[in-house]
Structure 1
Amino acid sequence: MTSETPSHLTDKGQELFSKLQQDYDIFDPDGVVLLTAAVECFDRVNECRGIIAKEGLTDLDRFGQSRPHPCVKIERDARAQMLASIRALNLGIETPVM
């Protein structure tokens, strides 16, 4: 049984989607929606990591004060949503290998 891997995912995301779908037999429509959400968040976390690696964990506000880079919050929120989606799928894992 196979289903189409969402084309908007990164190559790494598509690979993870296919692996989890096959390993955990996730083909029902609700499961595919949750899996897609989890992998979208996985992609977002990795995107933020790349930006933070280039630009640093902090930047300056308009007053010249150091503040967390906006991607730090985006990464944190995406990671939390990814883990929530994985828990909702009942996969018995806490986080996929990044």
Structure 2
Amino acid sequence: MATKTPKHLSKEAQDLWKRLLEEYGIEDSPGLLILQTGLEAFDRMREAQAVIAKEGLTVKDRFDQAKAHPLTTVERDARAAMLAALKALNLDLEPLQDRAGRPAGR
């Protein structure tokens, strides 16, 4: 499988694709597929966030009662799918510490 950046991904996701390939050396077909799936979920999450930011966290139902925007579940599910893909890649997502021991505040 080629490591070319999938063109259907957003610019932000394409930049992440390049950075993750460079930083973690993902080259195997299953790894690339998992990464692509995770970044597609990332794009879906960002799309939902943009609509929610424009329309608000709540909408009115037919009884004029406030309820959660339907895209909040899309955002949540896409975030979970993205994180699951990153976890499946076994990426170490913890930032490196400049000293030994637990990070401050933990």
State the TM-score, normalized to the length of structure 1: 0.89
Specify every segment of 5 or more residues in structure 1 that has no aligned partner in the other structure, as ranges: none
Runs of 4+ in 1 over 3 A off after TM superposition: none
Residue identity opposite 2:30 in structure 1: D
After superposition, where does 1:1-98 map in structure 2 within 5 Å?
A: 3-93=3-93
Shift of 1:45: 1.3
Corresponding pairs, count: 93
Residue identity opposite 2:68 in structure 1: P
Shift of 1:87: 0.5
| Secondary structure of 2:6 counterpart | coil
Aligned sequence identity (%): 47
Specify every segment of 5 or more residues in structure 2 that has no aligned partner in the other structure, as ranges: 95-106
Structure number with greater Rg is: 2
State the TM-score, normalized to the length of structure 2: 0.83
Q: What is the alpha-carbon distance in structure 1 between the residues aligned to residue 21 and residue 70 of structure 2?
A: 32
Shift of 1:12: 0.7
User: In proportion to residue count, which structure has more helix?
Assistant: 1
Q: What is the alpha-carbon distance in structure 2 between the residues aligned to residue 81 and residue 15 of structure 1?
A: 19
Residue identity opposite 1:57 in structure 2: L
Shift of 1:15: 0.6
Shift of 1:58: 0.5
